[in-house]
Amino acid sequence: MLGNHLPRRCGIATFTTDLIDAIDREVPEFDCFVLAMNDAGAQHAYPPRVRFEVPQGDIEAYRRAADFLNVSSADVVSVQHEYGIFGGKAGALVLELLRDLTMPIVTTLHTILAAPDPAQRAVMDAIVGLSERIVVMSSDGAALVRDVHRVDPAKIDLIPHGIPIPPDRPSKVKGFVEGRSVILTFGLLSPDKGIEYVIDAMPAILARHPNTVYIVLGATHPHVKQEHGEAYRQKLHTRAERLGVDGNVIFHNRFVSQEELVEFLGAADLYVTPYLKEEQSTSGTLAYAVGCGKAVISTPYRYARELLADGRGILVPWRDAVQIGREVIALLDDPSKRRELQQRAAVFGRSMSWPLVARRYVESFELARGAHEERRRAGLAAKTLAKRRAELPEIDLSHVRLMTDDTGMLQHATFDIPRYSDGYCLDDNARALLLMTHVEETGTVAPHYLRALAARYLAFVNHAFDEKSGRFNNFLTYARSWQDGPGSDDSHGRALWALGAVVGRSADLGRRGVAARLFHGGLPAATTDLVSPRAWAYALLGIDEYLRAFPSDSNVESVRAALAAKLMSRFRESQSADWPWFEDRLTYCNARLPQALLVSSARMGDAEMADVAKRSLEWLVSQHVAHDGTFAPVGTNGFYVRGEPRATFDQQPVEACAMVSACLDAHRVTGQPRWLDEARRAFHWFLGQNALEMQVYDARTGGCRDGIHIDRMNENQGAESTLSFLTALAEMRAADRVAPKLVPAEP
């Protein structure tokens, strides 16, 4: 089993532990062991069944875990999935483990989103594709995975959340609250629990039933405590004191065992879950309350609507303390009505006992083994080397760090030694900032290390912005003086692109706030000042990134429409049957032009724009393939002017990076596998599949050589080249994580 495990304190850890305990009791011939996920830097005194630990953000640990499982005796892997317990954007790092396993995977989904963001959708689509069986805990969850992720219903197992069998004896806790009516809420505290609304209801409840006590049982969630301390709990304390109900509200600030929870449930007259997130698709605490035959009042989140249907509980509106109070009073006033709820809940709960749930899981595991064996036999010898996923290098920021000082990233290097005489430029610091947003999503770089670099590059972009003109400066000498007034069109567009990416992708609120201010400050010039088609394209790519976070920003949408219209007009004026392009020449970063139209057309729903993007990108790809089938970018020594010979050299990394990115976006938008192949072709140019058959990437330094001459490599490793390689690598790694699982070939 892959997931969390006690003594780590969270709901997934409790579930995993309880499930294995139940399987051990019901099917003792099974040997269940655990790969436990750990928060960064965390260590726990695990029991012997935990045989491997995976630090959340350590990409190599996921791969070692896959190797460990592949050489173990395990014949099924049961994954307890929750986005937040795995590293990377939307927990994407778990795919580094799952895609390399040779045994079947059964994934239990603890969170199923009706409207996942693009990263969450991509990760979940990959997980369900890699899994032989998908376990959900409610009919609503089954419908969501069918409708949102298009999972075959035959692949889905509906197995309820397990619950303990309550003891047939009085609760020990009842003695501490003798003669008092008990309302109970249990679970790790966080601001989305809505406990304040029950406290707000207490004055009205006490006016009618003065001997009532509200017990809030559970420690603050470790992640919440790490970020905000005990601020939420203190807020609840203060609220109770202000309302004069602090003598009737009891906080048990501790993580309780299952046995202790059952004791508290036995003492409770009413159980309340006032949660605030409608999309919550499971709740172990609610399952326990129903299974123990409690009268339950809840807000109408997804799991509660299903579990409390048919008179098994009472639903109240969101954030409605008045209605909570009314329902509590009504149930305390009418013991017979309360008993009816309890009886219905208890009857329903019999099907959720851990022994029954454990056997259902074993059935799912057996189904997965059978289906996997059939698929394996069918594909034994079908995978040749050409069909196997090539390993990608690790993201190494050593040379990036070497090229970065207290001001920002230096432009050039002599070999791999930074060249101070050329100073800095906005272009490269914007590229570096864009790279940091991609690296942040991988979750593979220590947060403090990433934060230091990202903040440095954003500070440079901020320093470059002239608020009076709304333009960015570009070149800064090593003596820290600007060499130009308004910088080039391209540098302005690149800055907008990087800033939009920070807004759309970064989880750091400070960086997002600064980036948003600069983005809006520099956006007007995109339509009024910039005349370069590439600058328009860079700005459009930044707008697409920005709209990830704010998809209905009408001002930004209007700028997008204007810039896309400019690019479309250029294409119409320049294109011909044998030259479907935006200009009369191919120069540098060519693929960014169709890429910008491609992503814009996807959001705008413009069919003509999508057609232009596809035609121009397909033609561009055809112009960048050598006779031996390798990627061959147009040379900078003359470029390629319509009707004239095409320059073959010098070939530069920035062109390969642009092609990788454009083809990956084409795959994302169209779903056509051929674009992944084209992206790989362009990326492998860095790794030696080029005219000189030499590696452009320098694995020794983590840098990238500045290009390919006709007879030799350019051994200098400047910022543009290194950032181009690393950005392409980060995008390829992200795409590789969601690639389909390959059936192992016959040994």
Predicted pLDDT at 740: 45
Q: Which residues pair with 271 in a beta bridge?
A: 184, 296
Same domain, 605 and 623: yes
Angle between helix axes 426-442 and 489-505 (nearest 10 degrees) is 20
Same domain, 122 and 15: yes
- Asked whether residue 726 is domain-assigned, the answer is yes
Same domain, 610 and 686: yes
Instruction: Tell me the pLDDT of the chain averaged across its residues.
Output: 91
- Comparing 62-76, 161-175, 275-289, 568-582, the range with the smallest average pLDDT is 161-175
d(CA 534, CA 567): 9
pTM: 0.71
Predicted pLDDT at 57: 86
- Contact between 49 and 21 under an 8 Å Cβ cutoff? The reply is no
d(CA 634, CA 431): 21
Same domain, 204 and 306: yes
Task: Collapse the DSSP code of 107 into the 3-class scheme (helix H, G, I; strand E, B; otherwise coil) and give the result.
Answer: strand
- Contact between 451 and 507 under an 8 Å Cβ cutoff? The reply is no
User: Which residues are CB-contacts of 415 (< 8 A; sequence separation ≥ 6)?
Assistant: 715, 716, 717
Predicted pLDDT at 283: 85
Predicted pLDDT at 40: 76
Same domain, 193 and 335: yes
The number of beta carbons lying within 10 Å of the beta carbon of residue 557 is: 16
Predicted pLDDT at 377: 67
Same domain, 29 and 132: yes
Helix/strand/coil percent split, the chain, to 5: 50, 15, 35
Same domain, 116 and 238: no
Predicted pLDDT at 381: 41
- DSSP for 262-317 reads HHHHHH-SEEEE----TT----HHHHHHHHTT-EEEE---HHHHHHTTTTTSEE--
d(CA 229, CA 216): 18
Same domain, 238 and 185: yes
d(CA 581, CA 595): 13
Q: Which of the listed residues 541, 574, 607 is the one where a domain comes to its end?
A: 574
- Asked whether residue 384 is domain-assigned, the answer is no
Taken in order 424, 429, 431, 432, the sign of the CA dihedral is positive
- Asked whether residue 746 is domain-assigned, the answer is no
- Asked whether residue 75 is domain-assigned, the answer is yes
Count how many Cα atoms sit within 13 Å of the Cα of residue 615 in the half-sphere of its side chain. Answer: 17
Token pair 């294995």 is at which residue?
20
- On the question of pLDDT at 168 being above 90, the answer is no
Q: Which of the listed residues 574, 608, 625 is the one where a domain comes to its end?
A: 574
d(CA 684, CA 168): 67
Predicted pLDDT at 213: 94
Cα–Cα distances (Å) from 317 to 73, 200, 320, 363, in that order, read 50, 14, 6, 39
| Predicted confidence band of residue 384 (pLDDT cuts 50, 70, 90) | very low
d(CA 639, CA 637): 6
Number of domains comprising the chain: 4
Q: Which of the listed residues 548, 574, 600 is the one where a domain comes to its end?
A: 574
Predicted pLDDT at 173: 60
Same domain, 157 and 215: no
* Token code pair at residue 70: 């592949």
Three-class secondary structure assignment of 553-582: CHHHHHHHHHHHHHHHHHHHHHCECCECCC
- Contact between 104 and 76 under an 8 Å Cβ cutoff? The reply is yes
d(CA 540, CA 99): 34
Backbone phi, then psi, for 576, in 5-degree steps? Answer: -145, 175
d(CA 471, CA 485): 9
d(CA 618, CA 28): 59
d(CA 290, CA 59): 40
Same domain, 21 and 48: yes
* Token code pair at residue 402: 């070497």
d(CA 458, CA 454): 6
Same domain, 604 and 533: no
d(CA 574, CA 615): 14
Predicted pLDDT at 747: 29
- Asked whether residue 371 is domain-assigned, the answer is yes
Predicted pLDDT at 169: 59
Predicted pLDDT at 117: 87
Predicted pLDDT at 379: 56
- C-alpha dihedral, 444 to 738 to 120 to 556, nearest 10°: 90
Helices (H), 104-156: 118-130, 139-149
Supply the DSSP symbol for 620: H
* Token code pair at residue 236: 């609840």
- Asked whether residue 74 is domain-assigned, the answer is yes
- On the question of pLDDT at 443 being above 90, the answer is no
d(CA 636, CA 590): 12
- Asked whether residue 394 is domain-assigned, the answer is no
- Contacts of 250-258 spanning 24+ positions with Cβ under 8 A: 250/213, 250/214, 250/215, 250/216, 251/216, 252/215, 252/216, 252/217, 252/218, 253/218, 253/219, 253/220, 254/218, 254/219, 255/9, 255/188, 255/218, 255/219, 256/186, 256/217, 256/218, 258/14, 258/18, 258/164
Q: Are strands 640-641 and 585-586 parallel, antiparallel or unpaired?
A: antiparallel
Q: Which residues pair with 216 in a beta bridge?
A: 185, 251
* Token code pair at residue 442: 């991988």
| Predicted confidence band of residue 743 (pLDDT cuts 50, 70, 90) | very low
d(CA 654, CA 638): 16
Q: Are strands 34-38 and 2-3 parallel, antiparallel or unpaired?
A: parallel
Residue 329 identity? I
Residue 524 structural domain = 401-574
Predicted pLDDT at 171: 61
- Contact between 36 and 5 under an 8 Å Cβ cutoff? The reply is yes
Q: Kindly report, residue by residue over 681-737, the tens digit of the pLDDT.
A: 999 999 999 999 999 999 999 999 999 999 999 999 999 999 999 999 999 988 876
- Which domain CATH number covers 30? 3.40.50.2000
Report the candidate in 10, 11, 18 with the shortest Cα–Cα distance to residue 1. Answer: 18
d(CA 243, CA 251): 16
Same domain, 589 and 515: no
- Asked whether residue 470 is domain-assigned, the answer is yes
- Which domain CATH number covers 513? 1.50.10.10
* Token code pair at residue 569: 């007009």
Q: Which residues pair with 85 in a beta bridge?
A: none
Average pLDDT over residues 308-324: 95
Q: Kindly report, residue by residue over 39-72, the tens digit of the pLDDT.
A: 877 889 999 999 999 998 888 899 999 999 999 8
Between CA 479 and CA 486, with CA 482 as vertex, the angle to 5 degrees is 170
- Which domain CATH number covers 668? 1.50.10.20
Predicted pLDDT at 170: 58
* C-alpha of 150 from chain center: 19
10 Å CB burial of residue 464 (0-12, 13-18, 19+) is buried
* Token code pair at residue 407: 């001001």
Q: Kindly report, residue by residue over 447-502, the tens digit of the pLDDT.
A: 788 999 999 999 999 999 999 999 999 999 999 999 978 999 999 999 999 999 99
| Predicted confidence band of residue 505 (pLDDT cuts 50, 70, 90) | very high
